[in-house]
Amino acid sequence: MLSIPHALTGFVIVKTIEIYVPNTGIEFLWQDLTFWLIAAPFSSLSHRLLDNINENGLSTKEQTNYDAIPHLLIYALAVFTGNLEAFAKGSLTGNFPDIVDKKGYIAIFYRRIPKLKKAIDKIIAKNNWISKVAKYMTEFSYYMHSKKPPIMNPSPVTTKIIGVVSAILIVIILIKT
């Protein structure tokens, strides 16, 4: 699944929790405990459900055009609508397993630069604490991704449509809230 549908789901969960669940008044890592106990886990778990829809046949350029660029433009819109914090929390927690698994998406968007991936792996290998964190995060990511084959295998055109519709829904939510 592209990152935009994960961002949409995470954003909807975070926004819903913000609207309907009262804050605890207890801050932890600059956020109310409600975010860490309810919104973040549900946003991250939603990732596993959405990964049952495969992303098929998109080139790096198509992934950039239908996923990365819209995602960045939506972040800009979130700044102007005053929803940056909610969108960032939803987008990051909804995409968290992929962010961990794909080393911040570097491997996807820079496939043509194998030296970059090699350099990152070298840094991780040299620093014992980074290596331990990376190992833990990889194990976490393994459990957050389904081991079964995807339930749906949409065509590349359908995958693009899913991305566009998700982006449009995020824009509507950003403007209306």
The domains of the chain are located at 3-96+149-176
Specify the pTM: 0.75
Mean pLDDT by 10 residues, the chain (177 residues): 88 88 68 80 85 80 88 94 91 83 55 66 72 67 66 86 92 91
- Provide the b/e sequence for 123-141 (b: ≥16 CB within 10 Å): ebeeeeeeeeebeebeeeb
pLDDT tens profile 130-158: 667 766 666 666 666 666 777 888 888 88
Q: Distance between CA atoms of 22 and 87, rounded to whole angstroms?
A: 19
| 24 φψ region: left (φ > 0), alpha (ψ -120 to 50), beta (else) | alpha
Q: Distance between CA atoms of 13 and 44, rounded to whole angstroms?
A: 10
Helix axis angle, 40-50 relative to 128-144, nearest 10°?
A: 60
pLDDT tens profile 48-71: 888 888 877 788 788 888 888 999
Locus of tokens 């198509």: 62
